[in-house]
Structure 1
Amino acid sequence: MVWAQVASTGAIFGTIVDNSGAAVAAASITVVNQATQVKRNLTSNDTGFYSAESLLAGSYEVTVQKPGFKETVLRDLTLAPGQRLQSNITLEVGAVETKVDVEAEAVRVETESGESAGVIGGTQVENLLLNGRNFLGLGLLVPGVTSATITGHAVGGGSLNSGGLTGETPLSINGLGREYTNYTVDGAYNMNTGNDINLNITPTLDTIAEFRILKDNYSSKYGVAGSAQVLVESKSGSRTFHGSLYDFLRNDKVDASNFFSAGNKTPLRQNNFGFALGGPVTIPHIYNRNRDKNTFFFVNEEWRVIHSGSTVRGAMIPEAMRNGDFSGSTTFGAKGNQLVFDDAANNFLAGKNCL
């Protein structure tokens, strides 16, 4: 079987061995997504190798069975977008009815590839506060990632450009320009080809399961970009219903006045509100009544309302000068209301008569 090659999907692979280190062939392996319970059934080859390809990011459970050995279950394997996760499993001799449960390591050293990357997980996406609620702000948590200055209104995150309303990309990765980074959502190209610094779609935070930033030395399968890859994995439904209702408020009533506004507060009314809902697709008494089918949905709607002002300062010529009286100008000499010349050259004095 050949699986579709999508850049954001990952894989769990490894080798099945016994206590002596010998390969265990023809072992039955089941890889299960713990949220959706979608299963992938595999069999180890003659060298004990197995590989579950084209897996979506998430938490997985791997079960290995082989006659003459105890059943082994490895739980809570966290797979990031585009990651190839190695999981070697050692079987113990014993009855099949005996089960060995193994918890995956919370922190692992990347040994499967030489790529330099950082992952922003679902817990961080849900709990870290962001001015403007633009997911790109979380990218600054990854070493080597900075925010470049871009155009746009200062409300909602400054260089994050009003929380992504215009879709401009501010991230500079490894010191390169922001136009050299490629963005994808679930493996689909998400860049404006006109300038390479705008996203076609700016995913809202409540739709993102997690995202991964590949900084350098990554696989050639990604291509396109000369700098880095930002892989966004969207949420999907699960066996149970989950949802949220939210409203994020910014208001000048709880803000300090601008330093340059002479004590007058700049007006600001900003509301970011919406809902998210996901779960199994079920029609009572007709379809999926036991929620055991692999049909899910996830929907998010978000609205943004912003009413804001700005403080602008500038220099103005004094009223006397606007009326033609330059006697108070520091560029005139002691002769009053007339220009001072260098008598020898009959020219304006440098630095004196330049208005």
Structure 2
Amino acid sequence: MLLYWKTLIFTVAPFVCCLTIAAQDLDNVTISGTVTDQNGAVVSGASVTAMLVATKAERTTVAGGDGNYKLIQLQPGVYNIKAWFTNFATEERTNLTTIAAQTLQLDFVLKPAGVTVEAVIVVDASGTQVDTTRTVVGGTVTTREIESLPLASRSPLDLIFTLGGVSEEPLSTRYLADDKNARTTPEEAGSFSLSGGTAYSNNITIDGLDNNDDRSASQRFTPSIEAVEEVQIVRNQFAAEYGRASGGRINLRTRGGSNEFRGRAFYFFRDESLDANTWKNNSLGIKRLPVQEHDPGFTLSGPIVIPPVYRGNNRTFFFTA
């Protein structure tokens, strides 16, 4: 039995790694800055560590001769970041919220160990930091907004209409053949336009991976709203890595697991008795249109644990919805 589980783990691991590598250059977080002392002199060789709060995963780098450091390809989320060096007190910034494709400028000023014997901890719970280095035009619907905004359609793609530069486009306005009676697959115009561009020229991805249905100019798959952590659009001035489309790019970033087992159950219900009728329908004596929608579900996440073979705390996680 033990041999079977080990074989299963080694068989699945390469597939999981392939999924990670395919999207590793898209929509990550970069944290950079300068480490100096109280007099403004650079602290060459200072260590800077970023820890993702949810999974306790850490990434460490060393400041160069000019005191500058840079952490790249970090997973979006909430971080605790600290800087330290020999004979200096540790300075730590906690609860820093980052979003996809963000570059965060974070400078540290270290004090001599003789001045203070305790680490300097700065708590920042004010929300997402402003990215002054980002030149692309777009926006992001954050986790808090996804959970707070009412969404009758339960489709995460409809959240992009809350961002600027997005407009609705009528469907089924273009066809591949001139003869509409010909038995050919119609080419849809798409459902939304970014910055006035053509709605059939958008690039839709999930975690940076292709999710385009080329035959209908729309998404191939729509994940559950409960499984989406961020909805990001890039309308203009995007890098070549986004490619493929001239209209814009929409990326859905899915949720991930953490070191704690978490879950919730939900039941989304709609009925015409709960809806208001229009004034015109009331004046004509027309009743409300029948609406019946039942959408139960659940989410569950946490570390992968296979007792007594494997315990994935701080290493391997799962999320299902």
Answer whether TM exceeds 0.5 for this pair.
yes
Greater relative contact order, per chain length (Cα 8 Å cut-off, separation 6+): 2
Match of 2:71 in 1: 52
Q: Which range is displaced more, 105-114 or 32-41? A: 105-114
Asked if the contact 1:169–1:199 (Cα under 8 Å) also holds between the matched residues in 2, the reply is no
Residue 115 of structure 1 deviates from its aligned partner by: 1.8
Match of 1:122 in 2: 143
Match of 2:300 in 1: 277
Residue 120 of structure 1 deviates from its aligned partner by: 0.8
Asked if the contact 2:170–2:190 (Cα under 8 Å) also holds between the matched residues in 1, the reply is no
Larger Rg: 1 or 2? 1
- Aligned pairs, number: 280
TM-score (norm 2): 0.79
Asked if the contact 1:81–1:231 (Cα under 8 Å) also holds between the matched residues in 2, the reply is no
- Post-superposition Cα deviations, 1:305-354, rounded to whole Å, max 9, x if no partner, equal xxxxxxxxxxxxxxxxxxxxxxxxxxxxxxxxxxxxxxxxxxxxxxxxxx
Asked if the contact 2:45–2:62 (Cα under 8 Å) also holds between the matched residues in 1, the reply is yes
Map of 1:203-282 to 2, 5 A cutoff?
203-256=223-276, 259=280, 262-282=285-305
For residue 158 of structure 2, give the secondary structure of its aligned residue in structure 1. Answer: helix
Residue 144 of structure 1 deviates from its aligned partner by: 1.6
Check 1:179–1:269 CA distance in 2 against 1; reply closer, same or farther (3 A cut).
Answer: same
For residue 232 of structure 2, give the secondary structure of its aligned residue in structure 1. Answer: strand
Asked if the contact 1:31–1:41 (Cα under 8 Å) also holds between the matched residues in 2, the reply is yes
Residue 175 of structure 1 deviates from its aligned partner by: 1.5
1:6 and 2:6 matched:
no
Residue 168 of structure 1 deviates from its aligned partner by: 9.0
Distance 2:32 2:98 in 1: 11
Residue 107 of structure 1 deviates from its aligned partner by: 5.5
Check 1:280–1:107 CA distance in 2 against 1; reply closer, same or farther (3 A cut).
Answer: closer
For residue 117 of structure 1, give the secondary structure of its aligned residue in structure 2. Answer: strand
Match of 1:338 in 2: none
Match of 1:192 in 2: 213
Higher helix share: 2
Check 1:168–1:138 CA distance in 2 against 1; reply closer, same or farther (3 A cut).
Answer: farther
Distance 1:42 1:218 in 2: 28
Asked if the contact 2:169–2:193 (Cα under 8 Å) also holds between the matched residues in 1, the reply is yes
Map of 1:24-173 to 2, 5 A cutoff?
24-95=43-114, 97-104=117-124, 106=127, 108-150=129-171, 170-173=191-194
Residue 256 of structure 1 deviates from its aligned partner by: 4.4
Distance 1:239 1:143 in 2: 36
The letter of the residue matching 1:19 is: Q
Residue 284 of structure 1 deviates from its aligned partner by: 4.1
TM-score (norm 1): 0.72
Distance 2:253 2:93 in 1: 24
The letter of the residue matching 1:76 is: N
Match of 1:321 in 2: none
Check 1:236–1:168 CA distance in 2 against 1; reply closer, same or farther (3 A cut).
Answer: farther
Asked if the contact 1:182–1:191 (Cα under 8 Å) also holds between the matched residues in 2, the reply is yes
Asked if the contact 2:103–2:131 (Cα under 8 Å) also holds between the matched residues in 1, the reply is no
The letter of the residue matching 1:31 is: A
Distance 1:111 1:103 in 2: 21
Distance 1:84 1:123 in 2: 20
- Please tell me the root mean square deviation across aligned C-alpha atoms, in Å: 2.5
Q: Which range is displaced more, 46-55 or 253-262? A: 253-262
Q: Which range is displaced more, 87-96 or 270-279? A: 87-96
Distance 1:265 1:111 in 2: 50
Residue 19 of structure 1 deviates from its aligned partner by: 2.1
Check 1:89–1:219 CA distance in 2 against 1; reply closer, same or farther (3 A cut).
Answer: farther
Distance 1:227 1:16 in 2: 41
Check 1:292–1:255 CA distance in 2 against 1; reply closer, same or farther (3 A cut).
Answer: closer
Q: Which range is displaced more, 51-60 or 264-273? A: 264-273
Residue 139 of structure 1 deviates from its aligned partner by: 1.3
Asked if the contact 1:71–1:100 (Cα under 8 Å) also holds between the matched residues in 2, the reply is yes
- Post-superposition Cα deviations, 1:245-286, rounded to whole Å, max 9, x if no partner, equal 111111123334575584344332111221111011123454
Asked if the contact 2:96–2:128 (Cα under 8 Å) also holds between the matched residues in 1, the reply is no
- Which runs of no fewer than 5 residues in structure 2 stay unpaired? 1-19, 173-187
